[in-house]
Amino acid sequence: MKSTRLLATLLLVAVCAGFSSCEEELEEEPSTIPSPEGGNDSSDLENTYSQYIDDYEKITCKSFIQYNNDTIAFTGITSKGYLMIDLFQKSSETKVFEWIDNTKTDTIYKIHQGYGEYKEVKVHSIELPFIQFHTESSKDFIAMLHFNGSQTLRRALFVNGGQSRMTDCLSTVSTFILNWYNNEYCFIHDCCYTFAGDTVYTVKYGEYDYNIDQYGSRIATNGYGSFQYQFERVSAEEAVGIGIDTDNFNGSYQLRLARINYKTAQNIWGKEQYVELPFEYEAKAKLSSSIIQKSSEIWTYNIDIVYYDGTEKEASINVNIKNGSIIEEEIPVTLANLEGTWDIVKCYGWEYNDNYEKEDWEEDVTGEYIFFEDEDGNGGYNDGYKTYYFASSVKGDRLILRSTEWLLGKEVTITKLTDTELYLKAVDSESEENYEMKRR
């Protein structure tokens, strides 16, 4: 029990040192990133080992590393060829964790150099720059090992349920995310693993993909531009990304959204979504975003802006993460709320043919729009060539048109009205027409 409590105290947070992007990619960072202390040269190595490890003379590929100020990790190969890891509390010289593998570890590797050529690397020491236990009381863990020889080889070690597994040698580790999704998966360099070390899938980085976030951003933008997204995963394979895009030239802000699949390298929605943010532009303003609700398919993002004088404003955006549609709050159907110009973006419906069979149709509505000139309901419909003026009033969700040829004889219903969208449905006994419009 004493060792368990000490281990929980010393290693409650992830320890990281010695490889490049750990502090950027860990989802739970230590408050400081300690550097390895103590040497692994000659007498210092032997003296330190002799203080803590029994029969240290029989250990080969010895190495130690100090982190968390009071924790020392010892690694090496036993006389029987098995990797060993011992963790000690330095202040009390108390061993808090001990592990010996049940599979022998190779110390000679042939590394492909390209063009069919290989180089033999003999390992002279094995370092443990990182170890993370699954839970506070668990003996299962994930570790990063550095096999040092004429070049450094990196291998991830998974220990789960008493079974161990190592990855193949990695020339570099650009990404190391322990909790990739739901405390069941991790992501190391270009591969998603289970906590047991099973490969779930690998990704193929592009020339300028230096880590998994840049890879994801390239997928989100369909390969165009260098915009960087921040991702929230919805499964081991998929994530929703957001980012705030500042248009300094036009003086505006946009929220950009996309859903990607890491495994298939696809933009799930097929495109990025852009939402104009309702903030006045200021060059020195600071913007930030956060997710305030994601318990269903409708996620709510909160966008904050702080101006140079300290003024703060915020806006909320609702997104259907299944299809990428932006969910706006509907507003009351009144002539005042209808006032303005609405560009028709889609028109479709059905009608009976000569055989009295329903036929679906959709029309090209490029350049068509309707407008309401005032709160009295006076306005018109323009088909791109001619304007058909009307007078109108509203009754509940019905739009009553008068003195016009447009939609003559049809019952018109407003099926959706927000600050930016207007949907109409016009029906009679023989047909139905649907109009989807955006406020100009």
Chain segment 34-56, per-residue pLDDT in tens = 333 444 555 788 888 989 998 88
> Residue 4, SS3?
helix
The pLDDT value given to residue 13? 37
311 with 325: CB under 8 angstroms?
Answer: no
Q: What is the mean pLDDT of residues 89-106?
A: 92
- Structural domains of the chain, ranges and CATH numbers in brackets: 2-202 (no CATH), 212-327 (no CATH), 335-439 (2.40.128.20)
Cα–Cα distance, 213 to 176 (Å, whole number): 11
- Rounded to the nearest 5°, which phi and psi values hold at 186? -125, 165
The pLDDT value given to residue 42? 59
Q: What is the mean pLDDT of residues 130-157?
A: 90
Question: pLDDT tens digits for 383-423?
Answer: 999 999 999 999 999 999 999 999 999 999 999 998 889 99
The pLDDT value given to residue 29? 33
Contact residues for 5 (Cβ-Cβ < 8 A; gap 6+) = none
> Residue 90, SS3?
coil
Cα–Cα distance, 370 to 150 (Å, whole number): 74
The pLDDT value given to residue 394? 95
pLDDT at residue 12 tops 50: no
331 with 338: CB under 8 angstroms?
Answer: no
Percent pLDDT > 90 in the chain is 72
Question: What secondary structure, in 3-state letters, does 286-337 show?
Answer: EEEEEEEECCCCEEEEEEEEECCCCCEEEEEEEEECCCCCEECCCCCCCHHH
Q: How confident is the model at residue 86 (pLDDT cuts 50, 70, 90)?
A: very high
The pLDDT value given to residue 21? 32
pLDDT at residue 380 tops 80: yes
- 121-159 as b/e: b if 16+ CB within 10 A: bebebbbbbbbbbbeeeebebbbbbbbbbeebbbbbbbb
- Rounded to the nearest 5°, which phi and psi values hold at 328? -100, 150
Q: What is the mean pLDDT of residues 327-352?
A: 93
Q: How confident is the model at residue 225 (pLDDT cuts 50, 70, 90)?
A: confident
273 with 319: CB under 8 angstroms?
Answer: yes
Q: Using alpha carbons only, how large is the chain's radius of gyration in Å? A: 31
The pLDDT value given to residue 70? 86
The pLDDT value given to residue 40? 53
Going by C-alpha positions, the residue among 172, 179, 205 that lies closest to residue 193 is: 179
DSSP assigned state of 214: H
What is the torsion angle, in degrees rounded to the nearest 10, for the CA atoms of residue 405, residue 409, residue 415 and residue 418? 30
Q: How many CA atoms lie within 13 A of 265 on its CB side?
A: 13
Mean pLDDT rounded to a whole number for the chain: 88
The pLDDT value given to residue 36? 38
The pLDDT value given to residue 327? 87
Q: How confident is the model at residue 226 (pLDDT cuts 50, 70, 90)?
A: confident
- Rounded to the nearest 5°, which phi and psi values hold at 397? -100, 10
> Residue 393, SS3?
strand
pTM: 0.73
The pLDDT value given to residue 23? 33
Cα–Cα distance, 312 to 291 (Å, whole number): 18
Q: How confident is the model at residue 19 (pLDDT cuts 50, 70, 90)?
A: very low
The pLDDT value given to residue 41? 56
Cα–Cα distance, 436 to 408 (Å, whole number): 19
The pLDDT value given to residue 33? 28
Q: How confident is the model at residue 141 (pLDDT cuts 50, 70, 90)?
A: very high
172 with 152: CB under 8 angstroms?
Answer: no
Q: What is the mean pLDDT of residues 377-381?
A: 95
Percent pLDDT > 70 in the chain is 90
User: Distance from first CA to last CA of the chain, Å, rounded?
Assistant: 69
- Residue 12's identity, in one-letter code, is L
